């Protein structure tokens, strides 16, 4: 049907910070950690922030229920990681 668009599912909560903004923040911290012009004090500060996000996410995931197709999602992610590592060699 011309002009027909499928709308994204509206979630029943307000997402304050989307995945895009979270990824961008992580990339910024990663950039600081790898920038040879920035001292280790700031690099370590950024790495601690990444650890804090990681620990919080791990805690949430460890206590979260399992959902339909979650195993497929995780399998696909692991498959992409392996492919990426093989391409780097």
The residues near 29 (Cβ < 8 Å, ≥ 6 apart) are: 46, 47, 49, 50
Q: Read off the pLDDT of residues 36-56 as tens digits, 9 standing for 90 and up.
A: 999 999 999 999 999 999 999
Percent of the chain with pLDDT over 90: 78
What average pLDDT does the structure give for the chain? 90
Domain range list for the chain: 19-88
CB 30 within 8 A of CB 24: no
CA neighbours within 13 Å on the CB side: how many for 22?
9
- Across the chain, which distance is largest between two alpha carbons, in Å? 58
Q: How far apart are CA 25 and CA 16, in angstroms?
A: 14
């Amino acid at each position: 049907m011309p002009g027909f668009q499928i709308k994204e599912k509206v979630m029943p909560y307000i997402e304050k910070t989307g995945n895009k903004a979270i990824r961008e923040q992580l990339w910024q911290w990663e950039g600081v950690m790898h920038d040879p012009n920035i001292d280790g004090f700031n690099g370590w500060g950024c790495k601690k922030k990444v650890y804090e996000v990681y620990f919080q996410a791990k805690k949430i995931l460890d206590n979260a229920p399992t959902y339909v197709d979650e195993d497929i999602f995780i399998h696909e992610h692991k498959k992409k990681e392996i492919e990426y590592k093989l391409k780097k060699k």
